[in-house]
Amino acid sequence: MKAMVWVAPNKLEMRDMPVPKPQDGEVVIKVLGCGVCGTDVHIYCGEVPLAKPPNVLGHEIYGEVIEPATGVTAFKKGERVSVDPVVGCGVCQNCQEGKTNLCPRPTIIGYARCGGFAQYTSVPATHLYHTSERLGPKGGILAETLACVLNGYDRLNLKGCRSAMILGAGSVGLLWTELLKHSLTTKVIQTDVIPERGAVAKSLGADAVIDARKPNWQEDVLAIEPSGVDYIIDATGTARAIQASLSLLKSGGTFMIFGVCPEDERITVSPYEMFAKELSIIAAKMPPQTLGRAVRILEAGKINCGAIVTTTMPLSRLAEAIELFKTAKDKHIKIMIDPWID
């Protein structure tokens, strides 16, 4: 089979490898699509300590069951599946409470064990979720990102008739918008610095799109919500965006740190302002077994997958796809690798 191996920071190599055999409790799947994510860009550059070369990256995986290990009866050849990549150690307190996303010693698929940038991969049956054939690769790969968003959504403990602002209109920010549009929020405001992405946000139902390139863009938000916004979700992963919007939280409001900021970035908060306005700052990280729910939402047709997964590329162009992730944000939102096309 063809596999794109990450051999060293900033270096990928196409290799011919044997099709994996399922280990105990595992299922070999034929990869029908694998999403390129911001985390892949960081891993590729060597910025993620949990990931060590050589490895096959790719954690947003959709595929078809080829060979379940002896004794695995829940999955049969030919069935379609999405993958929850967060494999915890299984024995720490967090794992035992179902919070695999907080496991201190995880073996994440596509970080520390073989992922989906290959024609086949083998994954634990416990981390597979059935999908209907109708869902297709675009929906199938979005299940992982949506599962992450659902974790954040649960942690927000959203109340109806409130306003929300999402910073950033990439795939994560747009999934937040689509999910919040189906909640009882009154207004969904989205910010971005790329007009093309703002236009997609608008088409997916954002009530207002704010151009965050403007020096005083916060005034545009206050023109819509004079006393501030109830929920702010950062999907940019930059301390600058978080800092610039903190003061827009309404009394009693909650700020959700969701995008992954560089480790050395800092924000400053005023403890007095937090007290006086009774503010909350919370965060959410990876999917703690929320993938099954994500599949159900996608299958219900509530998410416009085609508007988010804009581009499909062959395995041979993975390095280019990673580069485009950084340089062509106006043209591509989510790039999917199909390892079966040339």
Among 43, 51, 95, 109, binds Zn ion (CB under 5 A): 95
Nearer to Zn ion, 250 or 334 (CB): 334
- 336 near Zn ion, judged by CB under 5 A: no
Of 242, 240, 208, nearest in space to 225 by CA: 208
Q: State the DSSP H helix or E strand holding residue 253, giving kind and residue range, or none if neither.
A: strand 249-257
CA-to-CA dists, residue 65 to 84, 124, 132, angstroms: 15, 12, 13
**Under a CB-based contact definition with an 8 Å cutoff, are residues 135 and 295 in contact?**
yes
> How many residues are recorded in the chain?
342
- 319 near Zn ion, judged by CB under 5 A: no
Among 88, 115, 170, 198, binds Zn ion (CB under 5 A): 88
**Under a CB-based contact definition with an 8 Å cutoff, are residues 35 and 60 in contact?**
yes
Closest CB 238 distance from Zn ion, rounded Å? 17
Residues 185-224, mask of contacts with Zn ion (x by CB under 5 A): ----------------------------------------
Contact segment (CB under 5 A) with Zn ion among 13-21, 25-33, 82-90, 263-271 equals: 82-90
- 92 near Zn ion, judged by CB under 5 A: yes
Nearer to Zn ion, 158 or 260 (CB): 260
For β-strands 163-167 and 229-234, DSSP reports them as parallel
How many chain residues bind Zn ion (CB under 5 A)? 6
Among 1, 19, 66, 89, binds Zn ion (CB under 5 A): 89
Closest CB 50 distance from Zn ion, rounded Å? 13
Nearer to Zn ion, 97 or 154 (CB): 97
Closest CB 179 distance from Zn ion, rounded Å? 16
Nearer to Zn ion, 103 or 175 (CB): 103
Q: List binders of Zn ion among 103-132 (CB under 5 A).
A: 103
Closest CB 228 distance from Zn ion, rounded Å? 31
- 288 near Zn ion, judged by CB under 5 A: no
| Letter string b/e over residues 184-201, b meaning 16 or more CB atoms within 10 A of that residue's CB | ebebbbbbbbbeebbebb
Tell me how many helices (H) and strands (E) the chain has.
11, 15
| Close Cβ partners of 4 (under 8 Å, ≥ 6 residues apart) | 12, 13, 14, 15, 56, 57, 117, 118, 315, 316, 318
Nearer to Zn ion, 279 or 303 (CB): 303
Rg of the chain, C-alpha, whole Å: 20
Residues that bind Zn ion (CB under 5 A): 37, 88-89, 92, 95, 103
